[in-house]
Amino acid sequence: MAAAAAATVWGATTLTGPAQDSPRAGGGPSAAPGATAPHDTSRRIPEGIAHASEGGARAVNITIDDGPDPRWTPQVLDVLKRHDVKATFCMVGPQAEARPDLVEQVVAAGHRLCDHTTSHDTAMDKKPTAYQQEQILAAKRQIERAAGGAAEVAYYRAPGGAFTPQSRRLAAENGMRPLGWNVDSKDFAKPGVAAIVATVEREMKNGPTLLFHDGGGNRSQTVQALDQVLDRLAGQGRPTGFPVRTAP
């Protein structure tokens, strides 16, 4: 297992050691960093779950799940714009199809798209391969249509981290890197802004990919907490980037 150096406030830790896959996407070891351009698929997309950042060892990946949402996605976009930060939006297919205007805003702002299935089934890993295939590929088509052909879907994130070898392989074969996370902000439970920020601070030693949500209910705490987290990261001189897509 990868060893982590002693952490300081706001995740000065760099994970070292070999990349490993995790059956669940949260808090796993970091994969090796890469520097492939966003739309360069000339190299094979690996099946391994991505945790590392294209921006290097000190970079942080902001990922936003379960949208788009007509109320909260624009507010998250405003926070990201204010901090000049790019993020990866893991979208639920029917929600993207229902709000193509929001998908287009995400793409126009320079963010990346991620497939988060059609029904957000957190028991995906217990379902037949044919079911997983339909959930993943149908969502990819819905997100692409909503984007109006303006961007590709670069990643696949299994709901609840319910990856399987089959779903990871299917994603990679369709140009999507399986995407994990290292830091679960716990914002989905709405524990309060201070609690969300404290959770991120505590877990930053786990790796660079942070999980927030713009869907699934009232995300006012997320909007405020994300603003504070980005302030603190900037104060620490931590750049933000996108998750790795291909092998280095």
Question: What one-character DSSP code corresponds to residue 151?
Answer: S
Q: Which residue has the tokens 């406030």?
A: 9
Check if the beta carbon of residue 68 is closer than 8 Å to that of residue 42.
no
Cis peptide bond N-terminal to 191, omega within 30: no
Check if the beta carbon of residue 193 is closer than 8 Å to that of residue 41.
no
**Residue 91: which of 37, 80, 82, 76 has the closest Cα?**
76
CA distance 74 to 77: 5
CA distance 79 to 229: 11
Check if the beta carbon of residue 88 is closer than 8 Å to that of residue 243.
yes
Known catalytic residues are: 65, 213
Provide the token pair at 75. 């507010």
Q: Which residue has the tokens 């909007």?
A: 223
**Residue 13: which of 58, 50, 46, 76 has the closest Cα?**
58
CA distance 98 to 198: 34
